[in-house]
């Protein structure tokens, strides 16, 4: 409707913020004191700047009987009027915590500065925030308050930009039996108990694998068991060949050349570099960690299959080692402890967090291409070049769409398409 109105020139789109005035005072101890003094003669008098900040008194009793706890502290309440010097009373309400949560993050750039709310140079260096991660429940209140405070701070010259955050990501929730965990419902899972039983690596692998981070995750004990088995499988696989691996010379991921690999070695390193490519790209942009872990599982399957060739001398230990190292690197953001153990077990110096992230090699990660002759009624009419992993349906679609094949089909009815995997495609027409 907006586009239509704009196209026809009778209206235009605009953004309306329904940000209303809101009370900032609370009858609580924890909060920033409101710097106001009441004088019988002068009325409401702000605390002069030289006397700021007004500090919270310590040792205040919290009685739960209503009113601000500060009102029961005469040494705090009773003061002198800054204007006439006569007896006066301090404001005893404090500011609600959202006043702080709307701008505290600027203070992180320099928590020591005592002469200003924020260090402008530090804020200029660090801000705006590249990536904010938070629950969707913050989207309408906290996030709009922090943007509002930022605009005020911009107007008074404390910051030099309009928006505090460049990119927002709202993560899903961990559910139990389909609903949000809550103590009153009694459906909570204690992560520290689960960590004590399975280790933090398993818990993290499970949570990253069970759902992409923007989706809710329904907690499952069977899922935890599965993650535990996977972590163990990787650990055992590496441990079994530890001695051999230590003997195999380490080589940088980039140092392998396609030509020096036999087909089996090529297949293993291809998978390893594909995993590394996917995890690398995911860390930057997509964050589909569940897919990353699924790919690591596929690589573990490949490694398990390659074991036989390794033992039969058909696959070099250096290649096995290279693929296993990439697996460990790719897993390290999810399972850092186990990854470090395996890494060091192979004779590398750790910890992995101090090792440069390797670059994947495009030539090694590239899908193997095959050429498929396409026949029409048994006669060669065209050729397809496609990745070896292309599905049957996709091969059929591509064969029908091939230009030379199209000329020979000439609108006639296709009876069937026979695909002999890796060999040929034959299109039977009437």
| Residue ranges binding Zn ion (CB under 5 A) | 39, 41-42, 81, 83-84
- Report the nearest approach of Zn ion to the CB of residue 83 (Å): 4
Work out how close the CB of 37 gets to Zn ion at its nearest, in angstroms, rounded to a whole number: 8
Q: How many CA atoms lie within 13 A of 232 on its CB side?
A: 8
Question: Closer CB to Zn ion, residue 40 or residue 401?
Answer: 40
Write out the DSSP string of 344-382.
Answer: HHTT--S-GGGSPPPPP-HHHHSPPEEEEEEEETTEEEE
Structure tokens at 257: 């050349």
**Least distance between Zn ion and beta carbon 39 (Å):** 3
Alpha-helical (H) ranges within 241-288 are 242-247, 263-281
Between 38 and 126, name the residue whose CB sits nearer to Zn ion: 38
For Zn ion, which is the closer residue by CB, 81 or 238? 81
CA distance 371 to 232: 40
Task: Write down the H helix ranges in 156-260.
Answer: 191-198, 200-210, 221-240, 242-247
As measured in angstroms, the least distance from the Cβ of 57 to Zn ion is 22
Q: Which is nearer to Zn ion, 85 or 117 (CB)?
A: 85
Nearer to Zn ion, 5 or 40 (CB): 40
Residue 41 or 188 with smaller CB distance to Zn ion: 41
At a CB cut-off of 8 Å and minimum separation 6, what does 356 contact? none
Instruction: Name the DSSP letter for residue 213.
Output: T
Query: Rounded to an integer, what distance in angstroms lies between the CA atom of residue 358 and that of residue 230?
Result: 24
Smallest separation (angstroms) from Zn ion to the CB of 47: 13
**Residue 95: CB minimum distance to Zn ion, A:** 24
Indicate the residue among 83 and 147 with the shorter CB distance to Zn ion: 83
Q: Give yes or no for a contact between 279 and 292, defined as CB atoms under 8 angstroms apart.
A: yes
Rank residues 2 and 41 by Cβ distance to Zn ion and give the closer one.
41
Which among 97, 98, 78 is positioned nearest to 89, based on CA atoms? Answer: 78
Interacting residues of 97 by C-beta distance below 8 A, sequence separation 6+: 30, 31
Distance from the first to the final alpha carbon of the chain: 51
Q: Is 244 in contact with 317 (CB distance < 8 Å)? A: yes
Q: Distance (Å, rounded) from C-alpha 134 to C-alpha 140?
A: 12
Least spacing, CB of residue 89 vs Zn ion, in Å: 11
In degrees rounded to 5, what are phi and psi of residue 387? -60, 145
Measured from the CB atom, is 77 or 365 closer to Zn ion? Answer: 77
Distance in Å, CB of 67 to Zn ion, minimum: 24
Residue closer to Zn ion by CB (options 81, 361) is 81
Residues with Cβ < 8 Å from 85, sequence gap 6 or more? Answer: none
* Residues near 342 by beta carbon (within 8 Å), at least 6 away in sequence: 234, 235, 238, 239, 324, 328
CB of 36 to Zn ion, least distance (A): 13
Which residue's CB is nearer to Zn ion, number 35 or number 223?
Answer: 35
Residues 6+ apart with CB under 8 A from 414: 400, 427, 428, 429
3-state helix, strand, coil in the chain (%, to 5): 45, 15, 40
**Minimum CB–partner distance for residue 142 and Zn ion (Å):** 38
Rounded least distance, CB 79 to Zn ion, Å: 11
């Amino acid at each position: 409707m907006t586009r239509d109105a704009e196209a026809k020139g009778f209206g235009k789109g605009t953004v309306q913020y329904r940000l209303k005035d809101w009370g900032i005072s609370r009858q609580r101890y924890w909060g920033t004191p409101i710097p106001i003094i009441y004088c019988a003669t002068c009325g409401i008098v702000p605390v002069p700047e030289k006397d700021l900040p007004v500090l919270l008194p310590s040792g205040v009793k919290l009685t739960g009987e209503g009113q601000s706890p500060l009102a029961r502290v005469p040494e705090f309440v009773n003061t002198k009027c800054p204007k006439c010097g006569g007896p006066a009373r301090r404001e005893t309400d404090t500011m609600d915590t959202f006043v702080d949560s709307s701008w505290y993050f600027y203070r992180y750039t320099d928590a020591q500065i005592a002469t200003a709310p924020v260090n402008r140079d530090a804020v200029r260096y660090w801000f705006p925030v590249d990536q904010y991660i938070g629950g969707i429940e913050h989207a309408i209140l906290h996030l709009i308050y922090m943007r509002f405070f930022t605009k005020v701070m911009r107007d008074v010259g404390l910051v030099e930009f309009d928006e505090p955050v460049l990119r927002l990501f709202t993560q899903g929730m961990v559910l139990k039996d389909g609903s949000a965990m809550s103590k009153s419902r009694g459906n909570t899972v204690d992560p520290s108990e689960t960590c004590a039983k399975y280790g933090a690596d398993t818990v993290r692998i499970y949570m990253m694998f069970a759902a992409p981070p923007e989706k809710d995750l329904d907690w499952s004990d069977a899922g935890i068991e599965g993650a535990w088995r996977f972590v163990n499988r990787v650990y055992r696989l590496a441990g079994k060949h530890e001695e051999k691996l230590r003997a195999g010379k380490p080589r940088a991921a980039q140092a392998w050349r396609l030509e020096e690999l036999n087909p089996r070695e090529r297949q293993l390193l291809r998978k390893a570099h594909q995993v590394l490519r996917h995890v690398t790209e995911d860390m930057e942009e997509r964050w589909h960690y569940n897919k990353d872990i699924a790919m690591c599982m596929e690589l573990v399957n490949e490694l398990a299959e390659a074991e036989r060739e390794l033992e039969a001398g058909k696959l070099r230990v250096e290649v096995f080692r290279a693929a296993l190292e990439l697996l460990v690197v790719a897993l390290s953001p999810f399972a850092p402890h186990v990854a470090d153990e395996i890494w060091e077990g192979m004779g590398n110096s750790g910890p992995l967090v101090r090792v440069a992230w390797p670059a994947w090699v495009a030539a090694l990660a590239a899908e193997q291409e095959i050429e498929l002759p396409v026949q029409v009624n048994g006669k060669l009419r065209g050729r397809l070049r496609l990745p070896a992993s292309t599905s049957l349906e996709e091969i059929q679609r591509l064969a029908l769409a091939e230009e030379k094949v199209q000329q020979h089909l000439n609108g006639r009815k296709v009876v069937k398409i026979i695909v002999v995997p890796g060999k040929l495609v034959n299109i039977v027409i009437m």
